[in-house]
Structure 1
Amino acid sequence: MINNLKTGRILSIDAFRGITILVMIFVNSVAGVNGIPTWMQHAHGNEDRMTFVDVVFPAFLFIVGMSIPFAVNSRLAKGDSFWQLQQHIAWRTIGLWVLGIFMVNAERVNEAATGMNGALWALLFYICAILVWNVYTFKNKWITWCFKAVGIIGLVILGIIFRGGEDGTERLSPHWWGILGLIGWAYLYACIFYQLFKGLAGAIMLMIAVCIGYYILCKQPFMSQGEWSWLTSQAGNAAHTAIVLSGMLLTLFYFDEDLGLKGSKLVARVTGYTALLLIAGVMLRPAYKLSKIHATPTWCLYCSAICVAVFSLLYYLIDVKQVSKWTTFFRPAGSNPLLTYILPDIVFFAMLLTGVTLPAVLGEGLPGMLWCAFFAVLMLFLVKGLNKLGIRLQL
């Protein structure tokens, strides 16, 4: 064991994850609605501001960080060796990369060059992904591996036949990694740091500063030269890793029994941590504007501070005051984040393939926003139904 963490499900983390996924579905849907206010849109890359929409992705990164200590220590408690643990981390990372790359390219299929309807290609990808990452309960393991093998073979075939771009010459590639791919990079780096420094809170805080410093270094003029291209390409991943590590550190503050932070000590530590994040963000803002698009240090630090505050409120309500019945509504998303995340895309491509369209009024203003809110809630109920059918994804 690396840290002496509290055992059992942490309802406040599950609720935070569920709320974040629900809001993520909403903001992804509402992005296609015309006439929505600016505070419901991502800030542009050339602006020095952010909206609540720009906090959703970092909130998920933050939750990934909060979950890593529990996941790593759980596998160690079950008897995993060092190399078995690394294999598990590598499998999850590769899974996130693969899903991210396929999801990004699903939007740019050249049907003539691929020889397949773009929506059909996307749906086949999602079917294969479900086959690979579904949680099976067969007593005979060979049946499980047969399903997974079919899914893997399907992904390989879809990847080989894919052609994208206007001229149909582009192959399946990470021209950008997609949300899941970016999470994969940050998850990998955070897991390495967590193990390397044995879960020491002070070391994790130091690595947050190192990640921010790495981003700043990559933005210096002398780093724009060609020989530094690979290093500078990791600047955004370093910034995202800082957010993941911020979530990891908060988990240690709240749930590491060896730290012994309770009552006023816990409040003081968390308050000081939040203040430190905000002060660092303010100090860096003159040099680095607030921008999600560019993953700037100010954006990372402000979003981390917001996540600390939101989780602390949830922890107080759910774990301290035991006001937890309302969290059952978010449980499907909280316990099945991957399925909940990809489900809206599956619905979208199914509608595209079958020619089903929504009334024009649902793509405009208030009616569109209400529809997106209803759609997000509908996805939670659909996930719950799919769980009953034995479909539950886990990387």
Structure 2
Amino acid sequence: MIATAALPRLAVLPRLNELQRGRVLPIDAFRGLTFLVMVWVNEMHGVTGISRWWKHMPADADAMSFVDAVFPAFLFIVGMSIPFAIHARIAKGDGWAALQGHIVWRALALIVMGVFMVNAEEDYVHPASMALPVEAWSLLFYAAVGLVWGVYRAPSPALDRVLRLGGVALMGLLALLYRGGPDGSQGLAPQWWGILGLIGWAYLIACMLYQLSRGRLPVLWAMLAGCVAYYAAHAALGDGATGLAATLLSQDGHAAHTSIVLAGVICALIYHERQDARTLDQRHARALAMAAALVAAGFALRPWFPISKIYATPSWCLLSAAGCVGVYVVLQALIVQVGATGWVAWVEPAANNPLVTYLLPFVIGAVMGWAGWGWPPALKDGTLGIAFCALYAAAVLWAVSRLNRWNVRLKI
């Protein structure tokens, strides 16, 4: 059984080592469900003959489907994990420099993965100019990821270093071999950073802000509002910003995503900060009040910032975060109060090995593309297509559970 851990009140950073050890079952359940739905909706991208509510909404639709809430759930669960991760590192004896190095390394890993993966998309790669098929290029990249960030035990520390440096060298070679752009003259570029890259930037910024806040909820709320204000300042100036102002306000997308991560941090502290006098029902009440505040703010900003995942508008961020808070309230009640925990085992493999869960469908897709295989058209159309994608997601989770048993893991 996974025990629920508690967080201390964060007056100063040295007290962070009071964190109790253990995992939090509702957070694991949230993470596992998020990755299950992620695999499902990613596979539905190519399904035809279904309602638009099963797809991402257009950029200017002023609406969102449940599909548009999956990426925010990624960001939110990253935020919920940040206090536990930082406290655990300090409990292990990390000083300030070691902690910052660990945070930067994790963020860099996500950003690098995101950049490589986004450049493999058909909108950016120029297949005719590539020295090898883009599917093979992608598979070599995933092999390099395994070498650099894989959990394995080499016979000696020296060989371990050689293998991991070999993975870095392979990534460097793949970067040199890459050709993109309309005529194949462009090299590897950030593009829009890719999903993992966006998460990496938001994680990095949120970790810095969390440490500056010392875990104080009013300060975190002010920081969340500051992210929204930053986005609004960029929108107000628009293309009129020049020079230093344009540079300083150029990260509005990262600020928007960070606001969702901070909402996850706040929700984690509401439920898991060590406050013995506060009952679970009182924590539910605080969380629901938080969700209500986010909903009110999201709709209040909607006239100026229509709901849009593509533009990462504050209304989309705040409403998505509110939905995540609501989901976590339900999970807390279901798992902690009702004691319904048996079902979590179905999604726990993804919670324990999230990066492999995320990457495995891309590996499968690259193998199928290189081999020229494809799913029968009947399985990618209508209601049958939706059901098939759900079955595919379940199969991926089953495969991850087998990989977990064989200790095929990634750790950053």
The TM-score normalised by the length of structure 2 is: 0.92
Structure 1 residue 75 corresponds to structure 2 residue 85: no
Find the counterpart in structure 1 of residue 174 from structure 2.
158
In the alignment, residue 62 of structure 1 is paired with which amino acid? F
Give 3-state SS (helix, strand or coil) of 1:165's partner. Answer: coil
In the alignment, residue 363 of structure 2 is paired with which amino acid? I
In the alignment, residue 127 of structure 1 is paired with which amino acid? A
Does the 8 Å CA contact 2:19/2:88 hold for their aligned counterparts? no
| Match among 239, 244, 248 for residue 231 of structure 1 | 248
Give the superposition deviation at 1:211. 0.5
Distance in 2 (CA, whole Å) between partners of 1:2 and 1:275 is: 30
Find the counterpart in structure 2 of residue 346 from structure 1.
363
Find the counterpart in structure 2 of residue 119 from structure 1.
135
| Match among 223, 240, 251 for residue 207 of structure 1 | 223
**140-149 or 158-167, which deviates more:** 140-149
Give the superposition deviation at 1:361. 1.1
Provide closer, same or farther for how the CA distance between residues 195 and 49 of structure 1 changes in structure 2, counting only shifts above 3 A. Answer: same
Give the superposition deviation at 1:8. 1.1
Find the counterpart in structure 2 of residue 372 from structure 1.
389
Does the 8 Å CA contact 2:298/2:316 hold for their aligned counterparts? yes
Structure 1 residue 197 corresponds to structure 2 residue 218: no
Distance in 1 (CA, whole Å) between partners of 2:324 and 2:337 is: 18
Find the counterpart in structure 1 of residue 279 from structure 2.
262
**CA offset digits 1:113-143 (Å, max 9, x no partner):** 2211111101111111111111123463333
**159-168 or 91-100, which deviates more:** 159-168
Give 3-state SS (helix, strand or coil) of 2:249's partner. Answer: helix
Give the superposition deviation at 1:221. 2.9
Distance in 2 (CA, whole Å) between partners of 1:264 and 1:327 is: 22
Find the counterpart in structure 2 of residue 175 from structure 1.
191
Find the counterpart in structure 1 of residue 148 from structure 2.
132
Give the superposition deviation at 1:258. 4.1
Give the superposition deviation at 1:199. 1.2
Find the counterpart in structure 2 of residue 92 from structure 1.
106
**377-386 or 108-117, which deviates more:** 108-117
Structure 1 residue 250 corresponds to structure 2 residue 272: no
Sequence identity of aligned pairs in percent? Answer: 44
Does the 8 Å CA contact 2:18/2:91 hold for their aligned counterparts? no
Give the superposition deviation at 1:36. 1.2
Question: Which residues of 2 match residues 214-363 of structure 1 at below 5 A?
Answer: 214-221=230-237, 224-227=240-243, 228-258=245-275, 260-363=277-380
**236-245 or 251-260, which deviates more:** 251-260
Distance in 1 (CA, whole Å) between partners of 2:381 and 2:116 is: 30
Question: Which residues of 2 match residues 20-39 of structure 1 at below 5 A?
Answer: 20-39=34-53
Structure 1 vs Structure 2 CA RMSD = 1.6
Give the superposition deviation at 1:319. 2.1
Give the superposition deviation at 1:348. 0.4
Find the counterpart in structure 1 of residue 398 from structure 2.
381
| Match among 201, 222, 230 for residue 185 of structure 1 | 201
**CA offset digits 1:299-319 (Å, max 9, x no partner):** 111111110010111011112
Provide closer, same or farther for how the CA distance between residues 19 and 314 of structure 1 changes in structure 2, counting only shifts above 3 A. Answer: same
**CA offset digits 1:128-169 (Å, max 9, x no partner):** 111111112346333322221111110010001111123110
Give the superposition deviation at 1:5. 4.5
Does the 8 Å CA contact 1:2/1:199 hold for their aligned counterparts? no
**CA offset digits 1:219-250 (Å, max 9, x no partner):** 01366323233333310110100000000001
Give the superposition deviation at 1:267. 2.6
Give 3-state SS (helix, strand or coil) of 2:152's partner. Answer: coil
Any gaps of 5 or more consecutive residues in structure 1? none
Structure 1 residue 393 corresponds to structure 2 residue 407: no
Does the 8 Å CA contact 2:260/2:317 hold for their aligned counterparts? yes
In the alignment, residue 8 of structure 1 is paired with which amino acid? G
Does the 8 Å CA contact 2:17/2:91 hold for their aligned counterparts? no
Does the 8 Å CA contact 2:72/2:320 hold for their aligned counterparts? yes
Does the 8 Å CA contact 1:218/1:231 hold for their aligned counterparts? no
Distance in 1 (CA, whole Å) between partners of 2:181 and 2:20 is: 50
Find the counterpart in structure 1 of residue 63 from structure 2.
49
Give the superposition deviation at 1:4. 5.2
Does the 8 Å CA contact 1:20/1:60 hold for their aligned counterparts? yes
Provide closer, same or farther for how the CA distance between residues 204 and 302 of structure 1 changes in structure 2, counting only shifts above 3 A. Answer: same
| Match among 79, 87, 110 for residue 65 of structure 1 | 79
In the alignment, residue 393 of structure 2 is paired with which amino acid? A
Does the 8 Å CA contact 2:17/2:90 hold for their aligned counterparts? no
**CA offset digits 1:36-95 (Å, max 9, x no partner):** 111101111111111100100001100000000000000000001110001100101110
Does the 8 Å CA contact 2:284/2:329 hold for their aligned counterparts? no
**201-210 or 255-264, which deviates more:** 255-264
- Number of equivalences: 395
**CA offset digits 1:256-279 (Å, max 9, x no partner):** 104753234323311221111111
Distance in 2 (CA, whole Å) between partners of 1:2 and 1:215 is: 32
**CA offset digits 1:85-108 (Å, max 9, x no partner):** 011001011101100000001124
